[in-house]
A and B are shown apart, each in its own frame.
Chain A
Amino acid sequence: MSEADATGGFGGAARGDASLSGNPALVGQEAVRLEGVHKSFGVLEILRGIDLSVAPHEVICLIGASGSGKSTLLRCVNLLEPVNRGRILLWGQDVTAPGVDENAVRRHIGIVFQSFNLFPHMTVLRNITLGPIRVLGVPRDQAEEAGRALLVRFGLSDKRDDYPDRLSGGQQQRVAIVRALAMRPGIMLLDEVTSALDPELVSEVLGVIRELADAGMTMLIATHEMGFARDIADRVCFLDEGVILEQGPPRQVFTAPVNSRTQQFLRRIVDAGRL
C-alpha cells in the first residue's frame, strides 16, 4: 500500500494488480495488454487487430480521426463492448476469457465518458459514493468521508450537495473523473473527456488529468487535444481505420511521423490551428 499512498491515495497499479489477480508477485507486469483485438458492429469493422501494451504508471494517448476506433478500444478494455477476436489482459489476467466476472473486472478500471454521464437524480456526493457503497460494500459514512476528501482535493467541495444540472460542463466532467477515482481503480480510461466542453472549460479538466498523471495513475486517453497529448503522454498511438499505424514518444510522433497517414492527419490538425 505504500505505493498507493505515494500516488496520492487513489491507488496505483500495485493495488489493482494485487486485488484483481490476488497475486502480489505480478507487480511490475504490464497493466494492460491487447492482443489482436477485433471488434465489429454488424458488417462494420471498427477494430481490425489492435496490439498494445501499457506498463504500470504509463500514460498513453490515442489520437486519430473520428471513427478510427479510439472510443471502441477503450470500451472494449472496460468490457462494455465484447470483442469478436483477440484477447485483453489486465495485470496478466485474460479478462476476455469465458466465465470472467465482468463486474469484478470493471471495479478496477475507471472510465470517463465524453458526455460525462453523471446520474442526474443524485447529488454530486451521491454520484461519487454510489460505486463504493453498492459495489465495494464500503459503509456509507466511510464512503462519504472518502468522497468529501476527494471533492476537496479536486476543488469541488462546495458542489457536494448540488445536482449535476447545476454544474458547468467542466465541473460535471471533473465530478465524473472523481466518481471513477472513488472506486480506486488501477487504471483510468478517458474517452475524449474534453470534446463536449466549451473551450474555456477545457483547461480545468486537463489540469485534473495532469494531476493524475503526476500521481502515477496508469491511463489510456483518447483525445483530440494534441498539445495536451504531446505534454502528458509517455507514448502516443495513432489509430487509423481500426489499427495502430504508428506509435512512439510524443516528440517523435508529432515532429517526425514516419507513416504517411500520420503525416496527413497531423498536417490537417496543424492547418486547423489545433497544434
Chain B
Amino acid sequence: MPVRGSRGGTYLDQQTLVAAGAPAPGSFEGNGRGSHLLGGQRAAAVSTVSTVVFIGGVIALFVFAPGAAAVRHTFFNPQQMKQAFLGDPSKGLYSVGKGLILNIEMFLIAEVLILFFALVIAVLRQLRNPVLFPFRMLAVVYTDVFRGVPLIIVIYGIGFGAPALYIRGVSTQSDFVYGIVALVLSYSAYVAEVYRAGINSVHQSQVAAARSLGLSQWKSLRFVVLPQAVRTVIPPLLNDFISLQKDTALVSTLGAVIEANRAAQIDSSTLFVYSSYTVAALLFLCLTIPLARFTDRLIARDVSRRMAGGATVR
C-alpha cells in the first residue's frame, strides 16, 4: 500500500496537506516540513523576501496614495474608533462593542436551531419510507427555495411580512426574533445540504453491515451513518457558521436592532467618519479568525488521521 503517513513526509504527503490548506512548504509559517524538497535555506530566503516586498507594497499604497491622508482620517481615526467602540450616550451614540454582544447572542441561538432543523431536513430527504413522501418533497422544495433566495430578502420578508399579517403571537415579536427566524430559514437549507453530503460520504458497506444485523433503515441511520457523517462535516459546518456570524449583521437592516453594523451606521451618519465601520470590521475579524483557524486545525487533524489509517481496508 502507498504512503503510510510518516512524520518526515513523503511527496504525496505534502501534496495532500497543501491541498487541505496546511502551510505550504517554505511559507513563513512553515514548520520545516518538506524543506529538503525545495533546498531548505534558499526556499526560506525567497519566501522571506517575497513576504517583505508584498507587505511593504501594501503599506506604501496606504502611505503614498493621493487620498491616503483622508482615508486614514476617515477610517482609522483613533479618537473616533475609541468612541465608536465604547459608545457615547451624551451624543446619542450606540456602542459598537455592545451591538456585537447582541450579534453574538443572535448567532448562538440561531446556530443551535439551525443545527437541529437542518439535520431533520437532511434525514427526511434520506428516508425511503413511502409514507414520508410528502415530507421528502417538502424538504426538497424547501432547500431549493431557501438556497436560491438571498438572505437579505428573507430577512425583509419575515421582518416586515410577519408583522403585517396581524396574527396574534406571530406578528408581535421583536426584530431580534424575526432576525433569528430568517437566519434559521436561510441557513438551514445550506446546512441540510452539508449534512446530506456527509451522509452520502459514509460508505454503502457500512449501511450493509448495519442492515445485516437486522437494524431498520432509521436505526442504521441513527446509530451508524449519522455519527460518522456528522464527524466528517464538522469542518464545513464551522465554515458555514463563520459566514452566519457575519450575516447576522444583515438583521440590522430591520431597523430597531442595536447591532454592530447598525451602531456603525448611526455613528457615521452623525459624524461622517467611518472609523466605526473599521471598529465593527475588526471586531468581526476577532471572532471569525479564531473560528477559521480552529476549522483549519480540525481539517488538518482529519487529513492526518485518514492518512495514518489509509493502509487498512475499510
Contact = CB atoms under 8 A, between A and B. Distances in A.
B269 interface: no
Contacts of A180: 212-213
Given A121-B228, A121-B231, A135 B214 contact: yes
Interface residues of B, number: 21
A130 B213 CA distance: 9
A108 to B, nearest CB: 8
A183 interface: yes
Contact of A115 (B215, B219, B227, B313): B313
A113 interface: yes
Contacts of A218: none
**Interface magnitude class on chain A:** 20 to 34
A104, A110, A119 interface centre (most CB from chain B within 10 Å): A119
A120 B203 CA distance: 11
B312 interface: yes
B223 A134 contact: yes
Nearest to B204: A117
Given A80-B208, A169-B312, A169-B313, A119 B224 contact: yes
A130 B207 CA distance: 14
Contact of A103 (B216, B223, B231): B216
B228 A117 contact: no
A120 B214 contact: no
B228 A107 contact: no
A134 B219 contact: yes
Contact of A113 (B205, B215, B228): B205
Interface string A59-91: 000000000000000000010100000000000
Given A106-B213, A117-B314, A135-B215, 11 more contacts: A103-B214, A106-B212, A111-B212, A113-B208, A117-B206, A117-B209, A119-B206, A119-B228, A121-B228, A134-B223, A165-B312
Interface of B: 205-206, 208-216, 219, 223-224, 227-228, 231, 309, 312-314
5 contacts: A78-B212, A103-B214, A106-B213, A120-B314, A121-B231
Interface of A: 78, 80, 103-104, 106-107, 109-111, 113, 115-121, 130-131, 134-136, 165, 169, 172, 179-180, 183, 196
